[in-house]
Structure 1
Amino acid sequence: MTTMEPIEGSLAASDSPNVERSARPLSAKANIVCAVVLVLYAMYFARSLIIPVLISIFAYLTLRPLVRKGRRVGIPSSVAAALILGTSLILIVVPSYLVMEPARQTLEQMPKYVQNVKQRLGFVFDKLDALNSATSELAREEAEENPAETPVPVEIKQPDWNANLTFISGTGNVVSLIIVSGVLLYFLLAYGDQLIRSLLHALPDFRTKRNFFAAIDGVQDGLSLYLAHVSVINVILGVCVSSAMWLLGMPSPLLWGVMACVFNFVPVLGALAGAGLLFIVALLTFEPFYYALVITGTFLTLTTIEGQFITPTILGRSMQMNPVLVFIATVFWGWMWGLVGVLLSVPILIAIRMASEHYQCSQGIAEFLGGKRQLDRNAQTDDTPDPGVAIGLKVNPEG
């Protein structure tokens, strides 16, 4: 007994550190999960504040190279910012004005469209009505068998002024989003470099400053490359769709071209939504049923050629991402922030990927999203050329 007690004591003493070491990672992972959940909830709760700020930052990083080019030729940042915003406003307002009247006519005829679709696709709706009738009959029979458990229906009807107030409130939210995003974008384009220099002074050492500027440079290049190229590709796609709809005899071909251009900013889901709208309108416009399939197939063929061949060829392998991750990101941010989240899903994914490539702790995230190890090239001696120079700001090694 005397010889066993020291052995057991030593085993207990040797096991306790292992237990503590195994418990610490579990607690750390639990803390990380809780922190992520809290951050996501805060992003959902504060979406009305985060969304315009995020839109402005992404637009700033995309348009900032234009401000730098203007500064090189002697144009002040404030003047260049005003010129860029004015040009962008013209590019948005003019196409919107051209398609406003066809869009208004389409929306006014939407109830008639829905009724005509029910008539043309009566064989489908008849089966759905039969299924609903059978379900209602089954529920009525169960209610007659158990009358005591039958709930009393209560109908709450809101006054008409409440619906109008909801519409006004939604319109006000859109207008406030546009105003806040536009004003913040102007100040970022005009004075964003000063803000970055202020952040620079708060960083502790030269290596941290270099990684910070390299991350900003990567996000800026990634967003500029993606949004600029995709915008040009979508405009060309819109011209092709508009021409094809004109040749096929579709009404308001310019409207469908603009729709294809805007919807194509949303991967996969945008093309499917556009195909659905075209199918409904073509079904009501032309008598033969197959002609609606021809028009929808033409639209899907153009979007498939663009998505599978043209865009990957122009953007190259450096910007390719797994379609599964793109789809999951689109669904997730759409669930978080609605339509704006759907439009921001791919830029958010690109920003996370580009920023993760420049930090050791996030190299796994960058590789998972399709990136490559940039840190191996950046982690050299302090004589490495300063990445801050590439984005127009000189980093002082002395701090």
Structure 2
Amino acid sequence: MSNDTKDLQPNAAGVLSTRICAGMLVLYAFYYARSLIVPIVTAVVLYLVLRPLVRHAQRLGIPSTVGAIGTMLGLLVLLSLSTFLVLQPARQIIAEAPQNLSIVKARLATITDKLKAIDRAAEDLTEEAEAEVGEEEKPVPVEIKQPNWNNNLSYLSGTGNVVSFLTICGALLYFLLATGDNLLRSIVRALPNLTARRKLVEVIQNVQEGLGSYLAQVTSINAGLGLSVGIAMWALGMPSPVLWGVMAFAFNFIPIVGAIAGACVIGVVALVNFEPTYYAFVVTGTFLALTSLEGQFITPAILGRSMSMSPVLVFLSIVVWGWMWGMMGVFLSVPILIAARMTCEGYDGLMPLAMILGAATPETATPTAPVPAPEPIIQPQSAVVRIDDPTSSAMPSR
């Protein structure tokens, strides 16, 4: 092989650096265009989850447009009912927040006084150490300004952002549910060969089944947790137990972080409403016990090994997407992680990345029976590929 040919071969380090730079640029684009990308990603996730309902309605003879409208109306009714149940108690708690914070500060005065005493002792030791050092040896104080993350902690801030998000997400979700199959057929037809078409169809099917299965099972688990938390809060005398049940249901879609945030909120409200300070810790401990029972035993038993993910990767996904897209990124972080894992599982070159994300190794993966390909639809004098179901294998016409 000549030296010129060797020079033209790509360097492994150069290829890796190029891919890292490309990935960073893509992430920056996602961050820069978050006001547009977040509703689009939300609509696509909802489409993959709700699409089986529209497909089932089509088998019953209901047109896809009617099925899409019915599915969206059902989703809207559920969201409206949940909002109605918790709106008034939530408003009251938010209105009384300044007064409640002063009450919480007074209730925790004993703990805060001890912490202040520790701080004062540490400051005294520091001052004594600095007194022993001459003026000429004193270090120059340097102030480090922390980056401002406040703008990224809340994506849906302001009426305009909410209206824009709901409009883009709702309209796109309807069109995807009503005509998304036609778009998938067009994408499959545009691929150059049968192997690429089959691979894309399999990836779409895996992502849809993975997301749908995960969200359906997690929604059922969270509903049971919300019911248990509501009953427990009612038995302990907490005000507005329905609010805490709905909060537990919604927050539990965020692994790890959701349980901690819910415990903090319930702990603050319990400190305000109950005179013995220890009783507030009993209420908070009950909430943590229920969420821990769900997270350590119930969820692993139901989801099983096939949907297990590393807590480290889940937490990093929550942090990264939450920093980039705010609260909606926090809620979308786990679905994005699952979709990335299912996509990587479909391609041999990405299988190592899929294994890092939690996929089973080929030796330990459970074998599945191959799905037979449908009969090709013959259309004379044409080479058109017809796909009645984009989640089934694509076959070219002869």
Q: Does 1:102 align with 2:102?
A: no
Which one of the candidate residues 318, 333, 344 is aligned to 2:306?
318
Partner of 2:396: 397
The reply to whether residue 64 of structure 1 matches residue 51 of structure 2 is: yes
In the alignment, structure 1 residue 285 sits paired with structure 2 residue 273: yes
RMSD (Å) for aligned C-alpha atoms: 3.5
Pair 77,198 (structure 1): closer, same or farther in 2 beyond 3 Å? same
**Contact kept? 2:202, 2:392, Cα under 8 Å:** no
On the 8 A contact 1:206/1:398 being kept in 2, the answer is no
2:241 counterpart of 1:253 = yes
- SS for the counterpart of 2:275 is coil
Report how many aligned residue pairs link the two structures: 364
Q: TM-score, normalised by structure 2?
A: 0.82
CA distance in 1, matches of 2:58, 2:218: 26
> Quick one: which amino acid aligns to residue 24 of structure 1?
N
Tell me if structure 2 keeps the 8 A contact 1:99–1:254. Answer: yes
Alignment of 1:111 with 2:98, yes or no, is: yes
Question: What are the Cα deviations for residues 295-347 of structure 1, in whole angstroms up to 9, with x where unaligned?
Answer: 11111111111111111111121111111111111111111111111100100
CA offsets 1:17-49 (integer angstroms, 9 cap, x no match): 898589711211111111111111111001111
| 2:335 equivalent in structure 1 | 347
**TM-score where L is the length of structure 1:** 0.82
Opposite residue 314 of structure 2, the aligned amino acid is: V
CA–CA separation in structure 1 for the residues paired with 2:295 and 2:115: 35
Whether the aligned pair in 2 keeps the contact of 1:357 and 1:372 (CA below 8 Å) is no
Where do residues 47-58 of structure 1 align in structure 2 (5 Å cutoff)?
Answer: 47-58=34-45
What is the distance in 1 between the residues matched to 2:304 and 2:122? 54
Larger Rg: 1
Greater CA deviation, 219-228 or 323-332? Answer: 323-332
Q: Is the 8 A contact 1:356 1:363 kept in 2?
A: yes
Counterpart residue number, 2:222: 234
Residue aligning to 1:80: 67
Residue of structure 2 in register with 1:4 after alignment? none
Query: Are the equivalent residues in 2 in contact too, given 1:217–1:390 (CA < 8 A)?
Result: no
In structure 2, give the amino acid aligned to 1:89. Answer: L
Between stretches 281-290 and 70-79, larger displacement belongs to 281-290
Shift of residue 392 of structure 1? 5.2
**Alignment of 1:244 onto 2:243:** no
Does residue 214 of structure 1 match 2:213?
Answer: no
Corresponding letter in the other structure for 1:110: A
**Contact preservation (8 Å) 1:353, 1:366:** yes
Q: Which runs of 5+ in 1 are unaligned?
A: 1-12, 151-165
**Structure 1 moving runs of 4+ over 4 Å:** 16-23, 127-135, 166-169, 373-378, 386-394
Q: Evaluate the alpha carbon distance shift between residue 96 and residue 187 of structure 1 in structure 2; reply closer, same or farther with a 3 A threshold.
A: same
Structure 2 Cα separation of the partners of residues 390 and 369 of structure 1: 29
Deviations 1:102-159 (A, max 9, x none): 1111111111110011111113434566749997x98xx99xx99xx99xxxxxxxxx
Give the secondary structure class of the aligned counterpart of 1:266: coil
Q: Residues 1-399 of structure 1 correspond to what in structure 2 (within 5 A)?
A: 20=7, 24-126=11-113, 131=119, 170-372=158-360, 385=373, 391=390, 395-398=394-397
Contact conserved, 1:357 with 1:373, CA < 8 A, in 2? Answer: no
Q: Contact 2:198/2:393 (CA < 8 Å) preserved in 1?
A: no
- What letter matches 1:34 in structure 2? C
Q: 2: CA distance between counterparts of 1:185 and 1:344?
A: 16
Deviation at 1:52, TM superposition (A): 0.6
Moved more, 296-305 or 115-124: 115-124
What's the offset of the Cα at 1:385?
Answer: 3.0
Aligned partner of residue 217 in structure 1, secondary structure: helix
CA distance in 1, matches of 2:297, 2:122: 48
- Per-residue Cα deviation, 1:278-300 (whole angstroms, up to 9, x for no partner): 11111121111221111111111
- The change in CA–CA distance for 1:342 and 1:86 in structure 2 (over 3 A counts) is same
8 Å contact kept, 1:318–1:371: yes
The percent of aligned pairs where both chains have the same amino acid is 48
What letter is aligned with 2:29? A
Distance 1:248 1:31, change over 3 A: same
Write the deviation string for residues 150-191 of structure 1: whole angstroms up to 9, x where unpaired.
Answer: 9xxxxxxxxxxxxxxx99972210121012101110100000
CA gap 1:25/1:18 in 2 versus in 1, 3 angstroms: farther
Q: For the residues of structure 2 that align with 1:223 and 1:90, how far apart are their CA atoms?
A: 22
Which residue of 1 is the match for residue 383 of structure 2?
none
**Distance (Å, rounded) in 1 between the aligned partners of 2:289 and 2:342:** 32
SS of the aligned residue for 1:173 comes to: helix
Q: Is the 8 A contact 1:358 1:374 kept in 2?
A: no
> Going by fraction, where is helix more abundant, 1 or 2?
1
Structure 2 runs not aligned, ≥5 long: 142-153, 376-386
